[in-house]
Amino acid sequence: MSPIKRRSFIKTSLALGSSIVFGSSFPGKILQAVNVFNPADIYSTTGNDPMQGVIKLFDSLGGIEKFIKSGSSVGFLINSPWKVRGYYTDPDVAIAVIKLCKEAGAGKLVCYKPVRDGYWESSQYYEEAEPIIREIVYGEERTKVPIPEGKELKEAEIFKAFPESEVFLNIPVAKHHNGTLYSGTLKGLMGVSSGKTNRYMHSPDGEHTYSKQDYLAQCIADLNLIRMPDLSIVDAIECALENGPRGPGKTTKPNRILASTDVLAVDIYAAKLMGLNIKDIPTFQYASEHNLGKDNLDNITVAEV
């Protein structure tokens, strides 16, 4: 994997009608202008108002219609099982994405992994979005799929709905994880696979352990060969710094929501926002070897909207 250095900011305005403002909280050299012909790799907005933030992100990406066609089935992967903030995707972010997709004409709405009880209701947007939430169907039936190019993981048992939906939007939280140091878009894909597959990913003996970090990281990279998201919207509002995936523990508050079509670039950037040493995270190395995205912060452009 090529060296990962500091992130680089760009300063301009987007020729899509959205204003681009660049912060100095994470300084880096100015690379180039962003416009419709030369878009950024990652778009970033504050988490102060997730609904308006997600609207800004879609607008900056060229409009939600770029991803959602009328009647298309849309699948969402949301990290919701835990109950301590910073360890699960903020439901405000998830509902904002789902609501905008439905308003853009999406047909069937699928959450591959069922959410925990009370998850939707804890959102400030729940009341207005309740009719849409009631439309959501959840993954149940499983199917096995081969991964011919996988190095450690050669097949996986996944939700049948995962490969069937026309659009795949990944909505993880950026956080610490005891087995991989960082969990986000790449690691979050384990949400579509079965408990049996996930145990095998932790250990070839089916032991649920965090001691085989490199093996788990390779399996995660292999799993991502099945299907890449059409877009990742990463909750980096409040991020766990220890005791992941469940918590509790210390958190940091970058107060950002990120959007990108590059799963590796957005994970690297989010990890850097958290203050992690990205060279210590083997998932990034193995994902790079699978050519899953950009791995060098000097070549990753970020626009704050």
State mean pLDDT over 252-271: 98
Contacts of 75 (CB under 8 A, 6+ apart): 110, 111, 112, 161, 162, 164, 165, 167, 168, 169
Position 37 scores a pLDDT of: 58
Q: What is the CATH number of domain 8-304?
A: 3.40.50.11440
DSSP H or E run through 138: strand 137-138
Q: Tell me the pTM.
A: 0.89
Domain boundaries, the chain: 8-304
State mean pLDDT over 245-268: 98
- Higher-pLDDT residue of 16 and 62 is 62
Position 112 scores a pLDDT of: 98
Is there a contact between 176 and 240 (Cβ–Cβ < 8 Å)? yes
Q: What are phi and psi of 13, to 5 degrees?
A: -125, 150
Amino acid at site 21: V
User: Could you read off the pLDDT of 93-104 as tens digits, one per residue?
Assistant: 999 999 999 999
pLDDT value at 216 more than 60: yes
